[in-house]
Each structure stands twice: as C-alpha cells, then as structure tokens.
Amino acid sequence: MEMKEILTLIEKVSQSSLRVFSLKQNKDGIQIEMKKEEMSTVHSLADMAEVRGVQDGYSAQKCDQTEDREENAPETAFLAPMDGIFRCSEGGRMLLRIGKELNDESGVEIGSIKDEDEIPYNLSVKCLGEVTKICVQDGQRVKKGDKLFLAKIEKGDTQIEIL
C-alpha cells in the first residue's frame, strides 16, 4: 500500500467514531489499532481491526480467523456508526456485529452471496444515527434500495439504507 493510500485511510478512520493510535504493515495490508471515543449509546466495538481501504470508505475484517467458516469465506464486520462501502465477495457474508469484540458471536448476517453464478458486489451503506442493535432477520438478503431498520436507545428506530 502506498503512502498516499495510507494517509487517505488514516484520514477516513480519524473522521469516524474511532481514533487511530498506531499502525503497522503486514502481509495482508495495514493493521490499524484504534481507540473509540466515549459513546454511551453505542455498544463497545473491538479496539483492534485490520482495516482495508475501499472506494469512499473502508471495511474491517475479523481479527480472529481461527475458525473455518464456509471454506474461509470472507466476513466483514461493520464498524458502526459510520458511512462507507463494504465489500462482499462470492461466498462471503456481510455482518453487523454489535459485540464487545469483533469475534463475538452476537450480530446478524444481513447479506450473502452463495450462488456461483452471482456476481460479487459492493454494498454502499449509509448509517443514519447511532446504532445499538440490528432489527433484521438472520440471513436476510439485501439489495439496492433496501432499508434495514435498527433499534436506537430511547429514541425509537433509525435505519441503515442500502444505497
């Protein structure tokens, strides 16, 4: 990854609810260690995540890859609340995890590509408001135009819109 890409990535991360305090290069890309600001209405997110820059956003891969899931299908953990484009390749799953750790089993699958003839795609996700838990069924398929409704503490529902 070139320095310009690294700086752009750091800038994007710094503008989110998370703050960078160290980074290092590894064989898969840049690993960024993060601290989140105090957000009383949002569940704690993992402080460690491998971050990969994508067009107009970034995604965080699960840190703990000790378990084989569907032949090591890639998983994406959403670092909410934030806007961004999140990638899911064929056989992969899109997850929103609201747990204390990225490898926490709490969370729900909101998109999946399992058919060989389906084309890998990116989901552009806009987070509208602070997220505490997701209110969609496990394994729900998402497509352009879908709106995923989320629960928000004391203020009713908010939503993530698939653009």
Q: What is the pTM of this model?
A: 0.19
Domain-located, residue 25: yes
Q: What is the pLDDT of residue 10?
A: 53
Contacts of 10 (CB under 8 A, 6+ apart): 20, 23, 32
Report yes or no: 87 and 54 within 8 Å, Cβ to Cβ. yes
Q: What is the pLDDT of residue 27?
A: 54
Q: What is the pLDDT of residue 70?
A: 35
- Whole-Å CA distances, 21 to 34, 48, 151: 6, 11, 30
Report yes or no: 1 and 53 within 8 Å, Cβ to Cβ. yes
Q: How confident is the model at residue 26 (pLDDT cuts 50, 70, 90)?
A: low
Task: Name the CA radius of gyration of the chain, rounded.
Answer: 15
pLDDT digit string (tens) for 92-127?
Answer: 333 343 333 333 343 333 333 333 333 333 333 333
- Whole-Å CA distances, 13 to 56, 64, 135: 11, 21, 26
pLDDT digit string (tens) for 27-76?
Answer: 555 444 444 433 322 222 222 222 222 222 333 333 333 333 333 333 33
Domain extent for 49: 3-123
- Poorest-pLDDT segment among 41-50, 77-86, 91-100, 130-139: 41-50
Q: What is the pLDDT of residue 12?
A: 56
Domain-located, residue 46: yes
Measured from the Cβ of residue 50, the count of other Cβ atoms closer than 10 Å reads: 18
Domain-located, residue 66: yes
Domain-located, residue 36: yes
Dist CA 151 CA 135 (whole Å): 6
The domain tally of the chain equals 1
Q: What is the pLDDT of residue 9?
A: 57
